[in-house]
Amino acid sequence: MELLRQQFPANDFALLALVLLAPLIGAIINGVFGRRLGKEAVRTMALSVMAVAFGLSVVTFLNVATMHPAEGESVRLYWKAWEWFSLTPKYQSFAVDVAFSVDALSATMMLIVTGIGFLIHLYSTSYMEDDPGYYRFFAYLNLFIFSMLTLILGDNMVVLFVGWEGVGLCSYLLIGFWFGDEKKASAGKKAFITNRIGDFGLLVAMAILLYHAGGDLGWGALEDRAASLTKEITMWPPNESFLRAVPFGDALRPDAPIRVSVATLACFFLFLGCMGKSAQIPLYVWLPDAMAGPTPVSALIHAATMVTAGVYLVARTSFLFVLSPAAMALVAATGALTALLAASIAFAQTDLKKVLAYSTVSQLGFMFVGVGVGAFGPGFFHVITHAFFKGCLFLCAGSVIHSMHARIHSEEGSQDMRNMGGLRKYMPITHATFLISCLAIAGMPGLSGFWSKDELMYKAYTLQIIPANASLWVPPEWFGKAIYVMCAVAALGTAFYMFRAYFLTFWGDFKGWNIVRGWKDPHAGHHDEHHDDEPLDGPVPHESPLPMTVPLMILAFFALVGGFVYAEPLHIAPLGHFWEPVFASAQPHIKNLDPEHALMLPLLVTGGLIFAAGAGGAYFVYVVQKGAPAASFVKAAPGLHRFVLNKWKVDEFYEVTVLGLVDAMGDTAAQFDKWVIDGILAKLTSTLVTVFGTLLRTLQTGRVQVYAAGMVIGTAAVGWFLFTPHAEANADFDAMRATGELNLTAAPGHGYAYHWAVGEDAEGPDKDEDFTKNANLQLNFRQCETKTVHLSVRNVFGRQTRESFTYCRETRQGCCKAEGEMAPAPQAGEVPSLPQMKPQAPSRPGTNPGGSPKGGH
Amino acid sequence: MSVPINYFLVLAAALFATGAVGFLLRRNLLVLLMSIELMLNAVNLTLVAFNRIHGTDHGGQILAFFIIAIAAAEAAVGLAIVLAFFRLRQTVRSDEANTLKN
């Protein structure tokens, strides 16, 4: 450890380069050469880079954990790869480095990502065994790990955003992994597009923070300058001239300007990003569809790691969120609502993966409740326990689906819980690990889910955000309690529907096919379309191979005992103390209403009772009564059941509103394009070009004599220009405005002689001797004085011309207007006194610019 | 008493104008070549006339010789083109030379 610290000091911790590069190299090699390398090599490559990344993550974690910083400072290992770009706009410069850092929070998260990532890579080597896209799968998976590590380790918001987009891309690629299937490809698109809405929010938040926080998006800099973000800015009206410009502007004018603190605004947009990535209302719709991807992907990306990026972001910017009780309340309320809604949908689903997907959405809601009420530690701890038990649950589901594929090849059929049942006899390891994870997610006291979920629910009940200044909106007293009640209901639902899934899958009788011992596939090697009406014969369902069950056992182990690293009620919370410095600057803004922990025990007991009620209820309904109450409920309220089964018709609602709106806009644009762009603009342009083309074409006769005529005319015109004199003068008006001294210089020409006359009615030169070679004239102006100058020029042919100029030194706005004939006054706000120069009409006959000879030959 | 320069210049201008108008208006290629010769000689006349004023400098006369040489080359090339054109079209009318147009 000492040697490590010498090699990699905290301010230049280049070990992160290896952690990041390992999966990237794996992705590149597998992606580019994977097809030729063969499965064995791809597997070795993918697993070894993950092992390297995990090993180095452990080293990094231990390094962070064993550092003892000075009082009041937090551990942060920093590594700057290179300076990315720097901009120097008008007011402040802005530099972005490709820099990475590790503190307690990101060290833990990186351990989870690489650890669970490794297990799921291992699992996939077996699960994806027969897939033709084997190498592609592992290339994407490695790329995902790289992007996720970039997201976690990025030292500033821009690098985080790169990772944020990267995981979105990998998610898209992996959801649509089997892109031959239209439905799966469009599920990928849906995920990507929904995420883009959130990403927009994140970009806006970055812009706001960049503007108001002094041009630095590094975490440290933002934390230092957070206090300045409590200032308020006016949201509406934009400005007076806007109200004047729009019709009915007065109606839009509020009684008092609507003002919002910068922190609230920035946090709102940050949270919009989190809504997209972490599947919260209203952007959660992509996550259930994301189950179209291979099951290990669902486990890794859409349960354990990527979808928790939003929670990570809120925890990472906790110092910002606590400045705005309104934003915190929004986070908590959205989380609680999502937890409830998703739990309710999960009741009716029959697809095992769909149940788990809605359960994930619901658990993400819990996490946001945690970070939204100020319980950043427990909230983020729920991310970690959830990664264990939900990762395990998904992998169990994959294991079950894997064995169902022995006889049922359609996707719907193999994932449908109505085809399962009784599997605990045939798949003991899968059953045991599923049960443990199920108990954990349902919150059985002692298991990991209990410690994280019930802790954060307790905190929701007792914590309150202290507003940074008195003018901020704060949620009412009962807000925390309402959040708690919603969470409790959602938790009850969770226990019930998770055990419903468990009992349907593993208890009762097997319903997939008639089990025939020693059955051999008569159509071995060819996937026939089986007929639904005929009962199938099939083999005994089998347990999955070792590479699949080992990750299950490891994850289940952590789901079982992982909670004891943050068991606040038992006063064993090493992880909590480890994280404390990360949330230290947020802590002063959080008030604990229950400092004596008097409510802790009652609420924990309630949590235990909720678990017992939910699980017991499911046992009663699905084991004792064999599902009869559920069936009769469906019969009693078929409409409600269908409504819930169809996911509250949210997708249809979005279809009509959002997609309809976009479609309508598209149609309008198409009509506009058809009639205005194509019909008017394009036609007009082409007509114009045709007309000019026709005109010019007549000149192109192809006869050499016509061209020669053109040459003669042109030469004659140039000759005439040289033959006539031109009276023009240049002047420096800036100097004139400042000093009143105006230097006029007449334009030079061949054999030019000049004559200057000052004064409105000054006479011109009478004879040739009046002309001199002096091209310059100096004039002095008093303030607001106007003078007229006449310039006569005679050229070598003896031809003359005369031009008059009037100048005014406008030192005050409008003081030259008295002349009446002055050029328009300068616009308001412009620098005053642009002197006006205006050639006047010739005042005497015979001095027109054409220059009739006067005293010539 | 030598001839004033204006006389030379007026004569040269008249020659040049004749050549230019002839070049623009006539349709016979041989006449066109002759018009070009007229213009070139008008310029030559101007050059030597001005050279008379600057007695010590012979630049104008040297330039005139150049122009005579170039005019000879031009006549050779021009006549060759006219000959080739006549073989192609059986005419020496310049408005028949419209291959470029269509």
Q: Residue by residue, what is the 3-state secondary structure of A715-727?
A: HHHHHHHHHCCCC
pLDDT of residue A629: 84
Q: Residue A704 and residue B94: Cβ atoms within 8 Å?
A: yes
Q: Is A250 exposed, middle or buried (0-12, 13-18, 19+ CB in 10 A)?
A: exposed
* Separation CA A733–CA A167 (nearest Å): 60
Rounded to a whole number of angstroms, the distance from the CA of A704 to the nearest CA of chain B is: 8
* Separation CA A165–CA A659 (nearest Å): 23
Please report residues of A whose CB lies closer than 8 A to that of B100: 702
pLDDT of residue A521: 65
Task: Reply yes or no on whether the pLDDT at A857 is more than 80.
Answer: no
Rounded to a whole number of angstroms, the distance from the CA of A750 to the nearest CA of chain B is: 19
**ipTM, 2 decimals?**
0.84
Q: Which residue has the higher pLDDT, A536 or A9?
A: A9
- How many other CB atoms are found less than 10 A from the CB of residue A717? 10
For residues A18-24, give the mean pLDDT: 94
Cβ atoms of residues A749 and A727 within 8 Å:
no
In a mutational test of the B interface, the residue from A698, A699, A700, A705 whose CB has the highest number of chain B CBs within 10 Å is: A705
Please report residues of B whose CB lies closer than 8 A to that of A705: 23-25, 32, 94
Please report residues of B whose CB lies closer than 8 A to that of A701: 98, 101
Tens of pLDDT, residues A765-790: 777 777 888 888 888 888 888 888 88
Confidence of residue A407 (pLDDT cuts 50, 70, 90): confident
pLDDT of residue A843: 40
Q: Which residues pair with A808 in a beta bridge?
A: A786
Instruction: Find the CB nearest A703 among B23, B94, B102.
Output: B94
pLDDT of residue A600: 86
Q: Which conformational region is residue B5 in: left (phi greater than 0), alpha (psi within -120 to 50 degrees), or beta?
A: alpha
Q: Residue B24 and residue A703: Cβ atoms within 8 Å?
A: no
Q: How many CA atoms lie within 13 A of A493 on its CB side?
A: 24
Task: Reply yes or no on whether the pLDDT at A834 is more than 70.
Answer: no
Cβ atoms of residues A57 and A19 within 8 Å:
yes
pLDDT of residue A671: 94
Task: Reply yes or no on whether the pLDDT at A470 is more than 80.
Answer: no
Task: Reply yes or no on whether the pLDDT at A692 is more than 80.
Answer: yes
Task: Reply yes or no on whether the pLDDT at A647 is more than 70.
Answer: yes
Q: Residue A703 and residue B20: Cβ atoms within 8 Å?
A: no
Chain length of chain B:
102
Q: Does A712 touch chain B (CB under 8 A)?
A: yes
Task: Reply yes or no on whether the pLDDT at A536 is more than 80.
Answer: no
Q: Residue A703 and residue B95: Cβ atoms within 8 Å?
A: yes
Tens of pLDDT, residues A626-645: 888 888 888 888 888 888 88
CA-wise closest residue to A114 among A26, A2, A209:
A26
Rounded to a whole number of angstroms, the distance from the CA of A709 to the nearest CA of chain B is: 6
**A418 contact partners, CB below 8 Å, separation of at least 6:** A350, A504, A511
- Percent of chain A past pLDDT 90, that is, above it, reads 43
Q: Residue B24 and residue A712: Cβ atoms within 8 Å?
A: yes
Cβ atoms of residues A809 and A784 within 8 Å:
yes
DSSP string for residues in A315-369? HHTHHHHTT-HHHHHHHHHHHHHHHHHHHHHHHH--BHHHHHHHHHHHHHHHHHH
Please report residues of A whose CB lies closer than 8 A to that of B93: none
Confidence of residue A833 (pLDDT cuts 50, 70, 90): very low
Tens of pLDDT, residues A728-754: 888 877 778 778 888 888 888 878 888
pLDDT of residue A555: 94
* Separation CA A579–CA A379 (nearest Å): 12
Order of strands across the sheet that contains A838-839: A753-758, A786-794, A800-808, A838-839
Task: Reply yes or no on whether the pLDDT at A793 is more than 80.
Answer: yes
CA-wise closest residue to A465 among A590, A326, A379, A320:
A590
DSSP class of residue A452 equals: I
pLDDT of residue A368: 95
Q: Does A705 touch chain B (CB under 8 A)?
A: yes
Terminal-residue alpha carbon distance, chain B: 59
Q: Residue A701 and residue B20: Cβ atoms within 8 Å?
A: no
Please report residues of B whose CB lies closer than 8 A to that of A712: 20, 24
Tens of pLDDT, residues A296-316: 999 998 888 999 999 999 999
Q: Does A713 touch chain B (CB under 8 A)?
A: no
* Separation CA A145–CA A43 (nearest Å): 15
List the single range of A232-236, A258-262, A718-722, B56-60 with lowest mean pLDDT: A232-236
CA-wise closest residue to A730 among A752, A715, A746:
A746
Q: How many cross-chain Cβ pairs, A to B, lie less than 8 Å apart?
A: 25
In a mutational test of the B interface, the residue from A697, A699, A701, A703 whose CB has the highest number of chain B CBs within 10 Å is: A703
The domain spans of chain B are 5-89
For residues A250-254, give the mean pLDDT: 75
Confidence of residue A91 (pLDDT cuts 50, 70, 90): low
Task: Reply yes or no on whether the pLDDT at A852 is more than 60.
Answer: no
Please report residues of B whose CB lies closer than 8 A to that of A708: 23-24
Q: Residue B94 and residue A705: Cβ atoms within 8 Å?
A: yes
Strands A77-87 and A94-102: antiparallel
Q: Residue A703 and residue B102: Cβ atoms within 8 Å?
A: no
Q: Mean of the per-residue pLDDT values for chain A?
A: 85
Q: Which residue has the tokens 């468990």?
A: A502
Cβ atoms of residues A369 and A479 within 8 Å:
no
Name the class of domain B5-89.
mainly alpha
Rounded to a whole number of angstroms, the distance from the CA of B94 to the nearest CA of chain A is: 8
